[in-house]
Amino acid sequence: MKAWNTWERVLLGLLVLLLVVFGYTQPGFISADALADSTFNFSEKGILALALALLIITGEIDLSIAAILALSSLAMGYAMKAGAGPLVMTLAAFATGGIAGAVNGVLVTRYKLPSIVVTIGTLSLYRGLAMVALGDQAISGYPEVFSTLGNSYLGEVVGVRWLIIPIEFAILLLGAVLVGVMLHRTVLGRKLYAIGANPVAARFSGIEADRYRMALFVFAGLMAALAAIMLTGRIGSTRPNIAMGWELDAITMVILGGVAIQGGRGSIVGTMLAVLLLGLFTFAMGMANVTGIVMSMVIGALLIVSMVLPKLFKRRRVLA
């Protein structure tokens, strides 16, 4: 297992500091029940962050990922209205997410358009489709299985009362393990790093960079669909503004986790530490009755700081 880098140690230290400070200032924050409940607020965003981490490591980005989530949730709602059962509704969400991700991938790989420009456009397109389709209405009445997925704990499912890990958080942890093993322990992972570090050299070494980029955009769409299923089940409805602005939160988690915005560097360990840090921080601020606009300001500031501080650490190591 690779040693943790300096930034990951900093994140771990900040996470411990957060638990100590808010555990002291906010009664009940440090309890097992509160910490378990806090994961409901960031598990879906963590799913998005895992997909974005892989894309950013390869030098790409997907700003439409939260809009794909909304579109996938809409597909679930339409499938339910057509009389489909939970399985078909789930397949509709994944099909919609995969197709939306594939559209991004084709525009980037086949037509050689910058991913940031493409996904700004598809963000507006996908979000617009969801808003036009719903108007000011919401789709509700989803089957109980989705509510169980979004709001229940593992212990309730397996009959172990003390196991208070939410199902959503367990899915996030499983996803992090699978993505982490792929990225850090396989040839495919090394190829993704090579593409992000130097795409021209990767191409000359025989790596089909466009094929891997295409696959990652589709994967991002599928992960957005998974997050849509989880979120729709948790809130029990599809709304026009579902997951609005979540792309900023997910990108902040990835960059805060030490993934280089220019590509070629980063880890799933760092990303997950940032998911926990940012998720618990916003939960604690919610307990302290901090307004949403202030939270948005803090997230924006963290995004800037997370890009500046690693460069300062790197400069200090060079000077030393």
Model confidence at 4: pLDDT above 80: no
Higher pLDDT, 314 or 55: 55
Q: Which residue range forms the structural domain that includes residue 76?
A: 6-319
> Has residue 1 been placed in a domain?
no
Model confidence at 49: pLDDT above 50: yes
Q: What is the pLDDT of residues 236-290, one digit of tens each?
A: 999 989 999 999 999 999 999 999 999 999 999 999 999 999 999 999 998 988 8
| Type of residue found at 120 | I
Q: What is the pLDDT of residues 176-225, one digit of tens each?
A: 999 999 999 999 999 999 999 999 999 999 999 999 999 999 999 999 99
Model confidence at 139: pLDDT above 80: yes
pLDDT for residue 296? 83
pLDDT for residue 3? 55
pLDDT for residue 313? 67
Least reliable range by pLDDT among 78-82, 293-297, 313-317: 313-317
Number of domains comprising the chain: 1
| Type of residue found at 309 | L
pLDDT for residue 320? 58
Model confidence at 307: pLDDT above 80: no
Q: Which percentage of the chain shows pLDDT scores above 70? A: 97
> Has residue 239 been placed in a domain?
yes
pLDDT for residue 168? 97
**CATH code for the domain of 155:** 1.10.3470
Model confidence at 1: pLDDT above 60: no
**Mean of all residue pLDDT scores within the chain:** 93
